Structure 1
Amino acid sequence: MKLHYAPGTISIAVAIALHEAGLDYTPQKLDFRAGEQRTDAYARINPKGRVPALETEGTILTETGAILDYLAARAPGLMPADPLDAARARAVMYYLASTMHVNHAHKMRGSRWADQDSSWQDMAAKVPETMAASAQFVEDTCLTGPYILGETACIADAYLFVVCTWLPGDGVDLAPYPKLRAFMAAMEARPSVQTVRGNGMLP
């Protein structure tokens, strides 16, 4: 397997999950500052020009949640067997993809939604408020223990962890969120996270 990633992006959730699954992979770093995600060569891998992209079994998978589900199918234990617990984990992932990640993107990707510079500035100014609201939702709704599903980590925790590493940079103080702080500490202690951080994938 080959993982196309950029440091600090949501693609690092896939790297964490690969380590959790014990699956070997080759990391392929993209330099977003240099625009490598917009090259013709990368467009042949992922025409959306985004990460992650995972080359595996003669095909290329994109979209974080889909890749995480694939890895969970390859490595039983990363997603709970109980259908309700699995649905709860996926509900968190879908929230992250549809809402919290989008909130974050408004800080520097305003051109996806508007053409005027003043609109971009307005969207960026809103990010601390919307990301704090997302942090509160995670605190109140998503965490049932150290992890999303209590005492046992699953692939959704890797997704949540990476999104929450963006909070300080988005102007959100974690002090009012004790469950979230405990979750982040539990994830930081995991060998998978320590490995990707040691490899320079997380700032």
Structure 2
Amino acid sequence: MLTLYSFGPGANSLKPLLALYEKGLEFTPRFVDPTKFEHHEEWFKKINPRGQVPALDHDGNVITESTVICEYLEDAFPDAPRLRPTDPVQIAEMRVWTKWVDEYFCWCVSTIGWERGIGPMARALSDEEFEEKVKRIPIPEQQAKWRSARAGFPKEVLNEEMRKIRVSIDRLEKRLSESTWLAGEDYTLADICNFAIANGMEKGFDDIVNTAATPNLVAWIERINARPACIEMFAKSKSEFAARKPFAKSEEQAQA
């Protein structure tokens, strides 16, 4: 039995979510609401003590870290459609791209996302409310990031992250001008993991990601969005998230 705890089809949560749909595996989606800080609730920290999503529960074994979950699915379900090549050289190429997105591309996009999205949410809280939320975050670095978002990231930090985003976009565009998919001619976890960060950039970063400046990157984003598994993932995730009940309430009811 598979249960995936995630924020839904975006950023790191999208990686294993799309992988599950692409592999055709049955699973229970449990969408955690970041606007309600559900990932810092005690019930969730019993699942992942780090208070982070995504987290995959497979028959009581909890696997964390988005790319690790994707690789785990390849190992645990070898008979499902493959998202990892069989050739060792191509596997290495795939892992170069998944390592790069985790260590470089994701982080610069994340900082801008925190400035634009988390900052206003953090500033909407009173000092008392904010401190109450922060003390429940188990990772010191995440506490510091919340404080930076609330204060506003320094301009020099944002400028440097935008520079890294441009470097990232150039790298993706160059590679996709040479090949249909990132790790070669086959669609793999390299594409899923980078798509999780790049999808939507043609709207949020339209000055640098557009059909004129990055035609191959935009075509790749559209190609993945047109895949049946991706279409199904977005459609089902939207309806399932809308129908869900807050976990905190469910936990209290279960204890009553």
TM-score (norm 2): 0.71
**3-state SS in 1 of match to 2:62:** strand
Q: Which runs of 5+ in 1 are unaligned?
A: none
Residue of structure 1 in register with 2:58 after alignment: 56
2:209 pairs, out of 173, 194, 197, with: 173
Letter aligned with residue 164 of structure 2: T
Cα deviation, residue 65, structure 1: 1.3
2:35 matches 1:2: no
Q: How many residues align?
A: 201
Residue of structure 2 in register with 1:79 after alignment: 84
Residue of structure 2 in register with 1:161 after alignment: 195
Cα deviation, residue 27, structure 1: 0.3
- Counterpart CA distance in 2 for 1:188 and 1:48 is 31
**3-state SS in 2 of match to 1:17:** helix
- Counterpart CA distance in 2 for 1:184 and 1:103 is 19
- Quote the RMSD (CA, aligned, Å): 2.4
**3-state SS in 2 of match to 1:129:** helix
Residue of structure 2 in register with 1:28 after alignment: 30
Cα deviation, residue 145, structure 1: 2.2
TM-score (norm 1): 0.87
Computing the radius of gyration from Cα coordinates, the structure with the larger value is: 2
2:189 matches 1:184: no
Work out whether residues 143 and 149 of structure 1, in 8 Å CA contact, stay in contact via their aligned partners in 2: no
Cα deviation, residue 151, structure 1: 3.0
Work out whether residues 15 and 67 of structure 2, in 8 Å CA contact, stay in contact via their aligned partners in 1: no
- Counterpart CA distance in 2 for 1:125 and 1:200 is 34
Q: Where do 4+ consecutive residues of structure 1 move more than 6 Å?
A: none
Cα deviation, residue 149, structure 1: 2.8
Residue of structure 1 in register with 2:128 after alignment: none
Worse overlay, 101-110 or 111-120: 111-120
Structure with a larger share of its residues in helix? 2
Cα deviation, residue 127, structure 1: 3.8
Work out whether residues 182 and 191 of structure 2, in 8 Å CA contact, stay in contact via their aligned partners in 1: yes
Letter aligned with residue 148 of structure 1: L
Cα deviation, residue 150, structure 1: 3.2
Residue pairs, 1:89-128, within 5 angstroms? 89-107=94-112, 108=114, 111-112=144-145, 117=151, 119-128=153-162
Identity %: 24
Cα deviation, residue 124, structure 1: 3.5
Q: 1:155 to 1:112 in 2, by over 3 A?
A: same
Q: C-alpha deviations, 1:152-191, integer Å up to 9, x for none?
A: 2112211111110142324642331222122112111111
Letter aligned with residue 75 of structure 1: P
Cα deviation, residue 102, structure 1: 0.7
Cα deviation, residue 48, structure 1: 1.9
Cα deviation, residue 128, structure 1: 3.4
Work out whether residues 30 and 36 of structure 1, in 8 Å CA contact, stay in contact via their aligned partners in 2: yes
Residue of structure 2 in register with 1:139 after alignment: 173
Q: C-alpha deviations, 1:76-121, integer Å up to 9, x for none?
A: 5221110010010011000000001110121217943975936445
1:152 pairs, out of 186, 191, 200, with: 186
Residue pairs, 1:12-27, within 5 angstroms? 12-27=14-29
